[in-house]
Structure formats: structure tokens, C-alpha cells
């Protein structure tokens, strides 16, 4: 309604949209770290979606997922974009299902 929201709002919204479209989705809560050396991260929420097969992209070396209740859910970051990036730029880590920008 306001055209904005934090990660919790956007992850729930993205998950609800996927569910409305017939996809099985969940919201993961955890800490986002900018590097492996960082001891504490920032609380973060991210949507994840169960797909019949793993996403495959030419420009990604790994696909991030979370196994829950015997199902595999691929990360679907809802907050990766900024007003200074083109939202269709698939070179940005976090823009594709299975990316883990954290």
C-alpha cells in the first residue's frame, strides 16, 4: 500500500503471492552476514519456494536451498533490489531464485 517495507513484510508478501499462484512457499528467519568473519548478523527474513526441480542458470555456480519437512525450498530474496539497479539484471546475486546474497 505504501510502496515500501522491510525484509519481513516483503518476504511474507512474496511468499503469499507464490502461494496464491499455487506454489508451496515458506518464510525463513535468520541472520544475514556480510562476510563469514562477521560474528553477528542482522536479523533477516527471506522467502523460499519448493520447485519440482532445481533452478539452473549459466551464470551461477551454486544454488541455495533449505530443506524443511522433507521438501527442498530454494531461496527467493525479496529485498535485493535498490533504486539504482535494473530489476531485470540477472547478473546481480540475489535476483534469481536459488541465490543467496548473504
pLDDT tens for 81-97 read 655 566 566 777 778 89
Whole-angstrom distance, CA of residue 97 vs CA of residue 63: 8
Domain ranges of the chain: 1-102
Residue-wise pLDDT tens digits, 17-67: 999 999 999 999 988 877 777 777 788 999 999 999 999 998 888 899 999
48 with 76: CB under 8 angstroms?
Answer: yes
pTM, 2 dp: 0.82
Half-sphere exposure (Cβ direction) of 31: Cα atoms closer than 13 Å: 9
Amino acid at each position: 500500500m505504501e510502496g515500501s517495507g522491510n525484509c519481513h513484510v516483503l518476504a511474507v508478501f512474496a511468499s503469499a503471492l507464490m502461494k496464491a499462484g499455487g506454489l508451496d512457499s515458506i518464510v525463513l528467519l535468520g541472520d544475514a552476514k556480510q562476510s563469514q568473519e562477521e560474528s553477528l548478523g542482522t536479523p533477516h527474513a527471506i522467502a523460499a519456494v519448493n520447485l519440482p526441480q532445481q533452478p539452473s542458470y549459466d551464470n551461477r555456480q551454486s544454488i541455495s536451498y533449505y530443506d524443511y519437512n522433507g521438501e527442498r525450498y530454494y531461496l527467493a530474496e525479496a529485498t535485493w533490489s535498490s533504486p539504482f539497479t535494473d530489476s531485470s539484471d540477472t547478473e546481480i546475486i540475489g535476483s534469481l531464485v536459488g541465490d543467496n546474497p548473504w
